[in-house]
Structure formats: C-alpha cells, structure tokens
Structure 1
C-alpha cells in the first residue's frame, strides 16, 4: 500500500514540524548572540533572567531533536509503515512548544503565547494520530 495515501495527514504534519523546528534550531545556532540578547531582555523581569543561556540551549537541543525525530519518522513511516520515530518527534515537538509557552506566559507575552498555541494544535493532533491502537 502507498504510504503517501495511507498516512497523508501524518506526513504533512511531520513536514510542518520539521520546517518549524529545524529552521528555528538552525536560526539559534547561526545567530546565537542575537537570540540570546533578545531573550535576556525579554526575560529580565522574570525568575528565568539568570538562566536564559542554559534555557536557550535546552530549547535548541529539544527543537533539533524534534526536527530530527520527525525526519526519521517520515523515513520510517514511508519505508516500513512504522510510527515510533514519528511519535517521538511529535512528543518532543509538543514538549518544545510547552517550554516556549511557559516562557512566554512567564514573560507576560500573551500574544506570543497565542502564536505558540497555533503550533501546538497540529503537534498534539499528530501525537493523537500516531498513538498505537
């Protein structure tokens, strides 16, 4: 059976998450100092102020892992019909988004938090789709 016809929703959301998280992680690597400077200002009035570099690295690693697992998930889903790696990628994507949401809410950036919610919806839907029956 053709996996592109069997799993079209899963594959499309996986590609969406790959683009979202690999682009974000690559941007953090390429412009580390710019991201760090902006985030230090964004969180200067929060309890996270002194932890921004460590938290940025944590988010970077989580986003990179999410993107890689989503890519491996596409390979595994198309090649073997297996969903394990895709599920790991979807769960890591949700975790990354929850970390970002927590930060935005703590910084009282409610508009930024709303934007993250838009990304969370397809990610959590993918977790639902990939659950073993």
Structure 2
C-alpha cells in the first residue's frame, strides 16, 4: 500500500491531540481547582447540581478525542487510511458541542465564541476525510 501524506489532516489532528490531551491532563492534575471554578461558573444553570458529572463527561470526551487524534496521525503515516482521523474529527466536534452548550448555559458568550474558533478546524477536518 502506498503511503499518501495528508498534511492538513495530520496538522489538524495534531492540533486536537495537543488541545484535548493537555486539557484532559489539566482536569486530572487539578480536579478540585477546576471543579471549584466550574461550580461557580454554572451556579445559576440547570446543571448546577451535576457539575462533577459534567466535568467527568467532558474529561472522557477529551481523552477520547485526543487519543483518536494520535491514532489517526499514526494510521495516516502508516498508510492505513483516514478512518481514525474521521473518528477523531467526530469526537472533537461532539466534545466542542458539549463545551459550547455549557458556555451558552452559563451565559458566557465570549467563552462560547472561543469554542467556535476550535469548532471550525473540526468541521474542516471532517470535510477532508
């Protein structure tokens, strides 16, 4: 099988691997600090009593998106297709949609706008694979 390089896909996967693995690491490394801040951030929302569960869900989604991104890069470099890159794109988009929902619920519109900056490469990735 001939190896075909997909630089835009590989670079975008690296972007999501860095973004989500670092974010997941931060959540694990400073769980209490993140949880304390998020409880205040979501104090006046419908998820105010489910912040720990929401944080755990986001952590799992970020780890999956980051891991699939790394696997996608490896598979592309080995000439084994774009299936994992597509899974990574879907996982990244879903993760970002959950984050966007949270920012909108908290009425943090600047934060929601920031999520869109990350969402654009996810959609581009899905159009390339």
* TM-score by shorter chain over 0.5: yes
Query: What residue ranges of structure 2 are gaps of 5+ in the alignment?
Result: none
Counterpart-to-counterpart distance in 2, 1:106 and 1:125: 26
Counterpart-to-counterpart distance in 1, 2:80 and 2:7: 12
**Which range moved further: 79-88 or 38-47?**
79-88
Give TM-score scaled by structure 2 length: 0.96
Counterpart-to-counterpart distance in 2, 1:87 and 1:35: 30
Question: Would you tell me which structure has more helix in proportion to its own residues?
Answer: 1
Q: Which residue of 1 aligns with 2:113?
A: 114
Q: Give 3-state SS (helix, strand or coil) of 1:58's partner.
A: helix
* Structure 1 segment 30-69 matched on structure 2, within 5 A: 30-69=29-68
Instruction: Compute the displacement of 1:81 (Å).
Output: 3.8
Counterpart-to-counterpart distance in 2, 1:22 and 1:28: 10
Instruction: Compute the displacement of 1:86 (Å).
Output: 1.1
Give TM-score scaled by structure 1 length: 0.93
Root mean square deviation, CA, Å: 1.0
Q: Which residue of 1 aligns with 2:87?
A: 88
Count of aligned residue pairs for this structure pair: 128
Counterpart-to-counterpart distance in 2, 1:8 and 1:57: 33
Counterpart-to-counterpart distance in 1, 2:53 and 2:14: 28
Whether the 8 Å contact between 2:3 and 2:78 is mirrored in structure 1 is: no
Q: Is the aligned partner of 1:25 residue 2:24?
A: yes
Counterpart-to-counterpart distance in 2, 1:115 and 1:99: 13
Whether the 8 Å contact between 2:72 and 2:83 is mirrored in structure 1 is: yes
Q: Is the aligned partner of 1:72 residue 2:77?
A: no
